[in-house]
Structure 1
Amino acid sequence: MPVSRIQARAPGKLFLSGEYAVLLGAPAVACAIGRHVDARFLSGDSAEDPEAARWRLAAGEILLRHGLDPAPAGRPLEIDSKALYSDGGIKLGFGSSAAVAVAVTGLLLASQDRGRRSPSIDRLRIADDLHRELQGPGGSGVDVAASLHGGVIAVEGDRVESLHWPEGLHCEVIFTGRDADTAHAIGRFREALQGGKGAHFSALCAAAEAARRVWDRSPDAIVAAVQEYAAAWRKLDRSAGLGVYSREHLRLESLARAADCVYKPSGSGGGDCGLAFSTDRGKLLALREAVREAGFPPLAVDLGVEGLRVRRQSDRA
């Protein structure tokens, strides 16, 4: 089949718990969301965007390192990641670069007629290598794993485990109105780690482990564990000067508390978006109106969606 008929779609992600702690070997829980990156080969004389060319050329090098045919990376690409940005062009904190890496990897592997089904090709490793090549080596890889696998996952070291979204657990996604520099934030975290904040780092890891343990239990237990994780994260943020809990997050936390909901930032950078949890949908609906009135737009996104999907023209929708 002509490669021009192949398209790849990869979802963004949200951290539910375990930010930063996963860099220390503790588990993180994340989910794929219903905002996607689409990648396809350009046909004819269509001009390739320079950013798409950058991803394509890097992907060719990664394929070669893995002993795969880099030839598909010789064709120009179109990458559409608009769904992971606000109307004003601000990134929403949904792991756009990881989703691009997964979509490009899926597209190039599928064009070799081996990547879609062959168990011998480690798609996660290839996508993660591509992401690190262009975004730097400091991240955890959780965002890449969530985009590739989809659903809800737990990541601990190299292990990825599929979970489910429990019935009765409700979550609201809220945009702070500004983006975050994740690489810079992780750099501050590593500096703080070297500076010695042992008790706070240990508390964060313990809270991350607790949040993972209760995920298969009741929604009430999950909400309580997320609250404990947020508290440990805030203490570390304050003591180490990470800058995650911005004035926007603090305001949203206050609004959530007033609505009897639990709030936490999502992702390592600060800024971007936060999550509010409750087992009472009515409380979250009330919070939605409160944050909107305060100038923070709630984001309507599906959680726990399907991961990477590669379609050929003959595939059914």
Structure 2
Amino acid sequence: MRGASAPGKLMLAGEYVVLFEGSALVTAVSRRARVFRSATGNNGSGLRGDGSRENGSVSPEVLLAIQLARRAFPSESLGPLDIDVSELRNQREGKYGLGSSAATAVAAAGLVAQAAGRTLDDPGTRREILPIAWEAHRVIAPGGSGADIAAANFGGTLEVEPQRSSPPHTNPVDWPRGLIARAVWTRKVARTNEMVARVRDFGESNPAALRQALRPLRDAADRVTDAFRRQSVPDLIGAVREHHQALAGLGHTTGTPIVEDTLERTAHLAEEYGGGAKPSGAGGGDVAFACFAQEDAADRFDGACRAAGLVPLDLTFHADGLRGEFLSTGATP
């Protein structure tokens, strides 16, 4: 079966700032969403699956991504499609917070382009797919930055600058030599839209206070990105710690639980082992990004997280973007 896949993402810097005329740093991760032509057909719905190859519902942005992609890439009918995001969620406890919706939208648009004869890892094809997936994703995230779409599409690590009415501008950033990174799932599923809405609502009634709270966050995010570009792991660890504190400050000012107990525990453990950690995304749970200069320190951090009921995720960073795949009949993607 022919298919397309796109990676999830981890936000490294710029949460909230990126929604208020700032930029963000995001990396693609090795856990992927997959959309592929079904070998078995289904009950006539044409699409199936969201968490596995067996059943589930199809989200609105995936349906719109396919519709928009068919306009841009006329092709034969795809027939029934299966969607698999099992790598991006825990089947019992929910999503990890790695951008599964955005990755699925990109993969769905990519499958249509593939059917029209396009090569998905071609830079030109990816540039054409970006606005399609971005527009489709706005169905569920109308105020989003587009960083998750960009990471799923292009892969690697990107500095992302949102635009008012078009897809974000992106600049690739190299992964620093010697950086040891971890993603830690808190086992708390957060609702990004609700968290962002609380901060926006606060800003509407208290614009000066929000600007003041965002200033140290913007400075910390800039330092994270600068450390990445300079390949300075020690400076990055310090900047990540500052970023965590600035997110906590924003939460305190706005009354939003951005850094709740599990994220605070993760940051404390990272510092205990010589690293730094911060929420990745809107906070309130989901996933954290942690960084270290030594592999053994990161391994001890992993063990401490497990003992505390946190879940270090088995994944790699700076992963490939959108790509085509061939799935053997009966194989689990």
Report the TM-score, using the length of structure 2 for normalisation. 0.85
- Is the Cα contact below 8 Å between 2:4 and 2:322 reproduced in 1? yes
The answer as to 2:178 corresponding to 1:168 is yes
Cα gap change, 1:55 to 1:74, in 2 (>3 Å) = farther
The answer as to 2:34 corresponding to 1:38 is yes
SS in 1 for 2:103: helix
Q: 2:134 aligns with which of 124, 128, 133?
A: 128
- Is the Cα contact below 8 Å between 1:92 and 1:273 reproduced in 2? yes
Match of 1:18 in 2: 14
Distance 1:199 1:74 in 2: 51
- Is the Cα contact below 8 Å between 2:62 and 2:105 reproduced in 1? no
Partner letter of residue 154 of structure 2? H
Match of 2:238 in 1: 224
Match of 1:287 in 2: 301
Give a deviation string over 1:173-212, Cα, whole Å, max 9, x none.
1111111101111111211222222211122122222222
Q: CA deviation at 1:68?
A: 2.5
SS in 1 for 2:57: helix
Partner letter of residue 81 of structure 1? V
- Is the Cα contact below 8 Å between 1:26 and 1:209 reproduced in 2? no
- Is the Cα contact below 8 Å between 1:154 and 1:162 reproduced in 2? yes
Distance 1:149 1:312 in 2: 20
The answer as to 2:87 corresponding to 1:83 is yes
Q: 1:103 aligns with which of 97, 107, 111?
A: 107
- Is the Cα contact below 8 Å between 2:153 and 2:322 reproduced in 1? yes
Cα gap change, 1:180 to 1:169, in 2 (>3 Å) = same
Cα gap change, 1:107 to 1:239, in 2 (>3 Å) = same
**Percent pairwise identity:** 31
The answer as to 2:208 corresponding to 1:182 is no
Q: CA deviation at 1:245?
A: 0.8
SS in 1 for 2:144: coil
Distance 1:163 1:268 in 2: 22
Q: CA deviation at 1:41?
A: 1.9
Match of 2:144 in 1: 139
TM alignment of 1:45-60, pairs within 5 A: 45-47=41-43, 48-49=47-48, 51-52=57-58, 54=60, 57-60=63-66
Between the two proteins, the alignment pairs up a number of residues equal to 307
Partner letter of residue 224 of structure 1? G
- Is the Cα contact below 8 Å between 2:276 and 2:291 reproduced in 1? yes
Q: 2:214 aligns with which of 172, 177, 201?
A: 201
Match of 2:96 in 1: 92
- Is the Cα contact below 8 Å between 2:10 and 2:280 reproduced in 1? yes
The answer as to 2:287 corresponding to 1:244 is no
Give a deviation string over 1:13-47, Cα, whole Å, max 9, x none.
00011111111222211111111111012245434
Gaps of 5+ in 2: 49-55, 163-167, 329-333
Distance 1:53 1:261 in 2: 38
Partner letter of residue 52 of structure 1? V
Q: 1:212 aligns with which of 196, 215, 225?
A: 225
Q: CA deviation at 1:257?
A: 2.6
Report the TM-score, using the length of structure 1 for normalisation. 0.89
- Is the Cα contact below 8 Å between 2:152 and 2:322 reproduced in 1? yes
Give a deviation string over 1:57-85, Cα, whole Å, max 9, x none.
42344246xx5256667732110001101
Q: CA deviation at 1:9?
A: 0.8
SS in 1 for 2:188: coil
Query: RMSD across aligned C-alpha pairs, in angstroms?
Result: 2.3
- Is the Cα contact below 8 Å between 1:139 and 1:186 reproduced in 2? no
Partner letter of residue 198 of structure 2? R
